Amino acid sequence: MELSKKIGLILGPIAFFILTNLPFELVSAKGDPVIAVATWMLIWWITEAVSISVTALLPLLLLPILKILPIAEVGANYGSPIVFLFFGGFVMALALEKVNLHRRIALNIIRLTGTTPNKVVLGFMIATGSLSMWISNTASTVVMLPIALSVINLLVDDADGFTKNDQNFALSVMLGIAFSANSGGIATVIGTPPNSVLIGLLENEYNTEISFLKWMTIGFPFAVIMIGICYLVLVKWMFPNRDLKFNASKDVIHAELEKLGPTSGKEKMVLVIFGITVFLWIFRTLINTIFPKLGLTDTMISIFAAIALFGIPYNIKKGDFIIEWKDTSRLAWGILILFGGGLALAEGMSSSGIVDMVANAIAESQISVLLTAGLLIFLMLFMTELMSNVALVAVLAPVVAGIAIGLDIPILYLLIPVTIASSCAFMLPMATPPNAIVFASGYVKIPQMARVGFILNLIAVVLLILVFKFVIPLLF
């Protein structure tokens, strides 16, 4: 066990004990215990002393013991509708992966974009970003990596060896996959966990709903622009591959598609269910207007998709279904618990008056709204390089909501760009699983990732400040 983990394991409960037994009040009699719980969770999350999902169970034990909330209220957060929205999304992703449909979609996107070096990079980035909207950024990276390595190996084995241009191409492909996996998830509610943590917080604490389509009106354009900027920075500025020519990449893509064979019946079935689900998510508001008694929610649609994939037989005689319950052994159950822990902590902060205290403190100060927004976006984005973005949003989102209230602006104005910032970690391998996966390929060194990542981080901060200032006020 690493030293940092050992220290964190002991430091978490010690900090909790000290903060719950201070001879004076930090905030209030009810607020101090919640700060103690949050501190324990934060220490364990940062050091990863235990699984971040295990840490998320602490509110279920500590908030009732400290008489902050009864266990029934705390437990309700772990069964929040947003948890089941993401569960349905996970099941859908599981089906896409099981029938290899995600791989077929990715390969066809790369085939369509072209086979010149820069177009190959663009193809990999568009394919990865598109997958990351619907399946985890880790899975989308894992799918793309072996295909990318096959293309890069063509350059390693060619007549002139692995030249500087070849190295730049390899860097562009690898970093492009990681960065577009991170950015693509921003596009949809189910694309990346921080989005769902925010949606859950808004519904649980502020009775505010952001529909699947409404999120996409912000998330999708931002993801497209960010992926486009990543592409330009990589191939035109940081790692240009001038005069690089190779045509064999077309053969690699064709060979990979040949391995998949013709589209199977199961793939077509998953594609139909996937298409219906996305259609319902996008047109839910219109459907509810036409059929008001239906009362469709994004969570209900997500569960419909899960039940359809489990319950509609592909071959009724053989009892063959698309997915079976045993397939869920690969489902990210820990993330669902993490959502619950984040929502429970947020409710504890709200009920103990911490959020109100933050709001009042900000209201009494004369802080510039734009400066505050920029600082929060900057802090969130660079902090997420060092710790889990889901954990970070779970801890900071209620505080950011309090700051927005104190500044007398709608909470969405601050919460949306700050949450999006948590998915824009481009600098370090440990920041996100996609960064770590491409780093492990051996084609990327930490200084190379850090250099280009720092530039992209700063660009993302500027973009998000523009979103805060000009885009969100138009939409909300």
Q: Tell whether pTM > 0.85.
A: yes
Range 371-387 average pLDDT: 91
| Domain ranges, ordered by start, for the chain | 1-50, 82-330
Q: What is the DSSP secondary structure assignment for residue 291, as one 8-state letter?
A: S
Q: How far apart are CA 410 and CA 415, in angstroms?
A: 9
Could you read off the pLDDT of 41-94 as tens digits, one per residue? 989 988 889 988 999 999 999 999 999 999 999 999 999 998 999 899 999 999
**What percent of the chain clears pLDDT 90, i.e. is strictly above it?**
65
Could you read off the pLDDT of 147-185 as tens digits, one per residue? 898 888 876 665 566 678 888 999 999 999 999 999 999
CA angle 440, 144, 161 (to 5 degrees): 65
242: phi then psi, degrees, rounded to nearest 5: -70, 140
Could you tell me the two tokens for 32?
């101090």
Q: How far apart are CA 467 and CA 476, in angstroms?
A: 12
Specify the pLDDT at position 249. Answer: 66
Could you tell me the two tokens for 84?
């089941």
Q: Please, which pLDDT band fits residue 460 given cuts at 50, 70 and 90?
A: very high
Range 110-136 average pLDDT: 90
Could you read off the pLDDT of 222-236 as tens digits, one per residue? 999 999 999 999 999
Range 283-287 average pLDDT: 91
Residue from 135, 139, 143, 136 nearest 110 by CA: 143
Instruction: Decide if pLDDT at 202 tops 70.
Output: yes
Specify the pLDDT at position 356. Answer: 84
Q: How far apart are CA 419 and CA 138, in angstroms?
A: 19
Q: What is the mean pLDDT of the chain?
A: 91
Specify the pLDDT at position 350. Answer: 86
Instruction: Decide if pLDDT at 247 tops 70.
Output: no
Could you read off the pLDDT of 6-37 as tens digits, one per residue? 999 999 999 999 999 999 888 888 899 999 99
Least confident of 338-342, 361-365, 373-377: 361-365
Q: Please, which pLDDT band fits residue 140 given cuts at 50, 70 and 90?
A: very high
Residue from 240, 316, 317, 306 nearest 273 by CA: 306
Q: Please, which pLDDT band fits residue 112 given cuts at 50, 70 and 90?
A: confident
Residue showing tokens 């690898």: 174
Q: How far apart are CA 362 and CA 199, in angstroms?
A: 24
Instruction: Decide if pLDDT at 318 tops 90.
Output: no
Q: How far apart are CA 223 and CA 219, in angstroms?
A: 6
Specify the pLDDT at position 263. Answer: 92
Could you tell me the two tokens for 341?
């822990």
Q: How far apart are CA 253 and CA 266, in angstroms?
A: 22
CB 333 within 8 A of CB 122: no
Instruction: Decide if pLDDT at 246 tops 90.
Output: no
Range 271-292 average pLDDT: 93
Q: Give the residue with greater pLDDT, 358 vs 190.
A: 190
Specify the pLDDT at position 178. Answer: 96
Q: What SS3 class is residue 151?
A: helix
DSSP H or E run through 234? none
